[in-house]
Amino acid sequence: MELSIEFRDGVLWATVSGRISVAEAVSVYTAVCDAAVEHGMRMILADASAAEGKLSDMDRYQLGRSMAEYYISKRLVFKVAIVGKPPLINGFGALVASNRGVATETFSDTAHATRWLNCFGGREVPTYKQPADLLLAVDEADRHLQEAKAGYKEALAIISNIGYSPDGSLALRQRAQDYDRAVRQYSEAVTTGLAYMETNRETALKLIRKERESVNEDADVA
């Protein structure tokens, strides 16, 4: 197993090649995290498309959990894009890490992975948005979150009623991933709004007062 680390446009690129074991996977994510902390990089792209190996679902669960615990213990809030294909990379470990607070996604190529990471970079600088767009973004993210939550509950209910099946398990996993993405999108929208308020307090206060008046008027009509 070989690991190389470089820095490109604000992203730490970690390239893994060769056969990789569970123990080596642990050493990779700790080395990558330590390098990111040392250089102040919070966006990580781990390219394992040239790596190979066999991991059980329990291995993936343990890796996702321990990775999240290690990354959360650091001073940075990380976004991690993992590039690879089955059988080594199937998204389950990333889902486990995401559910424990580290935004992690899997991709089949680096182009889509970098596009996803760049979305986070764009949201951190909200100057290109109109103030009203920020509230609309939060409302839209909240709507998506509620829909995803309902879908997840529906999948749980199906398995509860008819019992375990491969198709039901796959549906539940997909709904869980949708719900996880919706939670992160909502968090990003709220964080962007708060960042705008910190730097544009007067404008933000006027916008909030206007929104509150609108909500009160709707309540009076109802």
Span 89-107, mean pLDDT?
89
* 27 or 126: which leads in pLDDT: 27
Burial of 192 (0-12, 13-18, 19+ CB in 10 A): buried
Judge whether residue 124 has pLDDT over 70: no
Judge whether residue 167 has pLDDT over 70: no
Domain residue extents for the chain: 2-123, 126-221
pLDDT per position as a tens digit, 52-79: 998 998 999 999 999 999 999 987 889 9
pLDDT per position as a tens digit, 168-220: 666 677 777 778 877 887 777 777 777 666 666 676 667 667 766 765 555 55
Q: Note whether 88 and 121 are within 8 A (CB).
A: no
Judge whether residue 134 has pLDDT over 80: no
Average pLDDT, the chain: 81
pLDDT per position as a tens digit, 6-15: 999 889 999 9
* 67 or 159: which leads in pLDDT: 67
Judge whether residue 38 has pLDDT over 70: yes
Q: Cα–Cα distance between 102 and 94 in angstroms, integer?
A: 9
pLDDT at position 132:
61
Q: Is the N-terminal amide bond of 87 cis, ω within 30° of 0? A: yes
Lowest-pLDDT range of 28-42, 111-125, 140-154, 178-192: 111-125
Q: For tokens 């709220």, what's the residue?
A: 190
**Extended beta strands in 41-159, E state:** 43-52, 79-83, 103-107
pLDDT at position 123:
36
Quote the crossing angle between the two packed helices 201-221 and 166-199, to the nearest 10°.
120
Q: Note whether 135 and 211 are within 8 A (CB).
A: yes
Would you call 13 helix, strand, or coil by DSSP? strand
Q: Cα–Cα distance between 198 and 200 in angstroms, integer?
A: 6
Q: Note whether 151 and 178 are within 8 A (CB).
A: yes
Nearest CA-CA partner of 46 in 82, 71, 10, 12: 82
Judge whether residue 43 has pLDDT over 90: yes
What CATH class does 2-123 carry? alpha beta
What are residue 5's phi and psi, to 5 degrees? Answer: -125, 135
Q: Note whether 60 and 98 are within 8 A (CB).
A: no
Q: Note whether 61 and 93 are within 8 A (CB).
A: yes
**DSSP letter at 85?**
-
The model scores a pTM over 0.75: no
